[in-house]
Structure 1
């Protein structure tokens, strides 16, 4: 099977792809075989290859084809569930260690960009913006918590200070993090892929894994070949289907969507976000946005928990964008795309082992740009015999979604409707 093209998006239109990699045919051997050529799989592959391991990556489509090449591009320290939830799950000491590791993951990301010359438009700065007074109180408390207990220097900006950088009256203030930032996600994924290939990793595209045979030397089978190896890494996330049921029951695929305006011109674009930061609000069904390299606005703000695209998606996204920036009422959408992310029930990272030689990472829950790279590096370290960090994340208890395959999606849709109502009413 030949790999398909990338889904239409501004990301795919604005960065050249890598040469197509071969499809797996026949039987080969490796020290480590990785399912998935996204941030997790490529980070693990690069780390292991640089340590001298023979590494094979099997990708059903193209390098960075999934969430790694379609996401909002916001690289945010921490994890989707938030620090309060992590503390409830594992206690403050371990939650603090995990948060510190997310900062290390950010340093790794920046280091890989520099070391491998990845042209992915990194920009510093991220603002978390409340809309309601309740949300403002929560964000102000988070600012204090980050500065005192987590020793992470973030700033509280009042409405006037935020308005000096962001031309929107919708928000009551901001938690500004100068360390987090944003980038071109597909360009970053392709840069990781190029670095992995140069390090000796064998990447096979158009090679969907159809079966995992577990054992002392596990085998990953595709339609036309198989890889026999010493260790396996499962990094398929939302697109992992039929390979490991115990993982799939603890992960829910959720559709997310991003729009891109036509280029606005540098002056008009800079008038929207003067310091070029990324922005995300604190609603459950949140809006998030930033500027692209060619001075267009990239705006994400819709999710589907039913696996079906929302009706009138273009109209909904346009209205949400105009609600944030009324001054763009004469501007429409040039690109609109989506994809699937993987959420865990508690929205905490789900990383660990299914067997001594079978590793996995999933549950990034829409907060994976830093965390997925950290996961790949953490899994690679565990394969090399340094498992303390993986053992730390394995302490998090993950339960299956209720309802089984038949009912878990309707139950999640109902739960999300409640959270959206909560956002709207108080």
Structure 2
């Protein structure tokens, strides 16, 4: 069925032309059935198709419809927890492998954009901004750990004057510049991945929501109009996985995040806001992030909902937050406001694993999915091909269930309220 649309956003309004893929109708067979047409599913499909596998992708809506087409577009080094914390969980050797895989994820993204000529405005350079001295101390410690323990030389601390020269806000006491992180147009990247996967031979079906799955020796995915039977299955629904795999549902929590886009500010005024042109994020637990768009707007993200409900009056609330950093934008109009769900885990690291021997999953990127999803697709393809050592490095990360069962959403709301309070102290 033609005419499926993405939710309204600045990304959707500036997206590249995107083909419509058919709905699944009837029963088909393949080597690998991928459930979910976002970054993880498309990267998996591309990698497997390039290896010669017959791959089918089932997407409930449209390619890139979920977090892959609505996120902040920021490419971030490493993981949410400090590397020292991760070494305490898995040991120094696995921590080093995880670091190296995180760096590989950025190389995969860079090479894929170049090789497939994906027009997604990929740019490198990133500023982590400290609002308080304790945050600046943490950034200095992180940079030292990256440099001394992992040989990373792309980052350097910024004092108050240096960050003020890069970002026209008086809010920050300092920061960290990372030349190895960056930004892109997330929906155009998803569209490019979809085209690359299709060109490699993957069969993509849109408007084909998976209603139930069968695992075991012969996995199957059932939609309202058909079924796909495969040798292997990949669950790549992330925050939109729902109850397809109840044993996974408690390990991830869908979290709604929101963004706004100002009216066009003009090239000069936009450049004055962020003279360096890099993506910027603070280091609060509930963080704010922003960047300039190619058409000279400010794209600003900062609203979060840990309940199942959207916050009321989102545009006004996000604009108020934006003005705390950029009061000079008080006279500007907000043209776009949008949101969507991402998935977090209890320990804020991605959750990779298997259900049995032939059903793989990867989700819960906790804000680091723009790069790590590309790595996930590569590692899943390796594992399907019989080489699972690198996939298993992630699978060994410990993951607890969110507490509370049916009450986990209100419990998480209370916990996040505590973290918001801590950000203010």
Q: Indicate whether the TM-score tops 0.5.
A: yes
Note the aligned Cα RMSD (angstroms): 1.1
For residues 17 and 83 of structure 1, what CA distance do their matches in structure 2 show? 40
1:312-337 Cα offsets, whole Å, 9 max, x none, are 21111011111111111111311000
- 1:365 equivalent in structure 2: 366
Give 1:307 shift.
Answer: 1.8
Give 1:166 shift.
Answer: 1.0
Give 1:13 shift.
Answer: 0.2
Give 1:285 shift.
Answer: 1.4
Retained in 2: the 8 A contact 1:2–1:206?
no
1:367-387 Cα offsets, whole Å, 9 max, x none, are 210011111111111101111
- 1:340 equivalent in structure 2: 341
Query: Matched residue of 2:166: which SS?
Result: coil
Give 1:88 shift.
Answer: 2.6
Give 1:56 shift.
Answer: 0.2
For residues 44 and 273 of structure 1, what CA distance do their matches in structure 2 show? 36
* 1:149 equivalenced with 2:145 (yes/no): no
Query: Matched residue of 1:149: which SS?
Result: helix
- 2:232 equivalent in structure 1: 231
- 1:409 equivalent in structure 2: 409
Retained in 2: the 8 A contact 1:123–1:276?
no
Query: Matched residue of 1:102: which SS?
Result: helix
- 1:186 equivalent in structure 2: 187
For residues 321 and 235 of structure 1, what CA distance do their matches in structure 2 show? 33
Retained in 2: the 8 A contact 1:6–1:12?
yes
- 1:107 equivalent in structure 2: 107
Question: What does 1:1-400 align with in structure 2 at a 5 Å threshold?
Answer: 4-153=4-153, 154-400=155-401
For residues 262 and 66 of structure 1, what CA distance do their matches in structure 2 show? 24
- Any runs of at least 4 consecutive aligned residues in structure 1 with deviations exceeding 4 A, and if so which? none
1:78-102 Cα offsets, whole Å, 9 max, x none, are 1233423322321232122112111
For residues 312 and 84 of structure 2, what CA distance do their matches in structure 1 show? 35
Query: Matched residue of 2:150: which SS?
Result: coil
Retained in 1: the 8 A contact 2:2–2:20?
no
5+ unaligned residues in a row in structure 1: which ranges? none
Name the stretch that deviates more: 384-393 or 78-87: 78-87
- 2:423 equivalent in structure 1: 423
Change (3 A) 1:286 1:331: same
For residues 214 and 147 of structure 1, what CA distance do their matches in structure 2 show? 44
Retained in 1: the 8 A contact 2:281–2:289?
yes
Retained in 2: the 8 A contact 1:3–1:60?
no
Q: How many residues align?
A: 424
For residues 338 and 17 of structure 1, what CA distance do their matches in structure 2 show? 22
For residues 19 and 385 of structure 2, what CA distance do their matches in structure 1 show? 30
Give 1:2 shift.
Answer: 6.8
1:205-226 Cα offsets, whole Å, 9 max, x none, are 0000011111211111100000
For residues 258 and 87 of structure 2, what CA distance do their matches in structure 1 show? 30
5+ unaligned residues in a row in structure 2: which ranges? none
Give 1:19 shift.
Answer: 1.5
Give 1:15 shift.
Answer: 1.2
> Given the two structures, how large is their TM-score scaled by the length of structure 2?
0.98
Give 1:179 shift.
Answer: 1.2
Name the stretch that deviates more: 297-306 or 74-83: 74-83
